[in-house]
Structure 1
Amino acid sequence: MSKDTPTSTSGERTRAVESLDRTFRALADERRRKTLWYLDRHETADLTDLADHLSDGSEDAARRAYTSLYHKHLPMLSAAGLVEYEAESERVVLTTDTEPLEVVLDSMGKLAE
């Protein structure tokens, strides 16, 4: 990048890279990808139902899935702009903002060129 590039462009690039990094981190985990797949088919889910779907069916596994979704996976997916999650109501909704995924796909296309 040249020295003559305005700093706003540099700041925009930094924000874009940070957004891309958040999206890739969110997509890196299998449980988060399965969550997105489930929400793609159902649009919205109750946290308990989602945990049941992601577990092997045992109560202990469902409880572990619930805890990891609540504390780790859903906040990360939300930070990446992929889901909307309200902890109070325990509802998870696939976001209609497709920009994070579009950024990933655009970046992948540019890498392939």
Structure 2
Amino acid sequence: MATLDESERYRILSDERRRLVLEILAERTTGIGLDDLAQAVTTRQTTGTDVGPGTVDRVRIALHHKHLPMLDESGVLSYESEVRQVEQPRVASERHA
């Protein structure tokens, strides 16, 4: 897991979608595909409203281009954009196994 300074933690947690991504990952023991993650984030953001496919698409695009790359770069999660898969970051000992 990445060691973040206070400023970086605030920057990451300042956005609701990034907080929701981290919540969703924390509830899982396995990774999640981008499409399923976008649906889960959209559902949590729009509680009590009817969600259309366009809304999920906009969330998916924002996650793919903005939020997930930022979280991956900071080491908070692992995002494989080519296969659109999000995982918990591996600890150092797992990377070298």
TM-score (norm 1): 0.64
> 2:95 — aligned with what?
none
Q: Does 2:33 match 1:46?
A: yes
- Could you say which residue in structure 1 is the equivalent of 2:17? 31
Aligned to 1:77: 71
More helix by share: 1
Q: Which runs of 5+ in 2 are unaligned?
A: 92-97
Which SS does the other structure have where 1:51 is aligned?
helix
- Compute the TM-score of the two structures, normalised by the length of structure 2: 0.74
**Worse-matched range after superposition: 75-84 or 29-38:** 75-84
Q: % of aligned pairs identical? A: 34
SS at match of 1:42: coil
The 2-side partners of 1:72 and 1:23 are apart by 16
Amino acid at match of 1:31: R
Q: Which runs of 4+ in 1 moved over 4 A?
A: none
Larger Rg: 1
What is the RMSD computed on CA atoms of the aligned residues? 1.7
Unmatched runs of 5 consecutive residues or more in structure 1: 1-15, 98-113
- Seen in structure 2, the aligned counterparts of structure 1 residues 37 and 48 have a Cα distance that, compared at 3 Å, is same
Q: Contact 1:32 / 1:73 at 8 angstroms: preserved in 2? A: yes
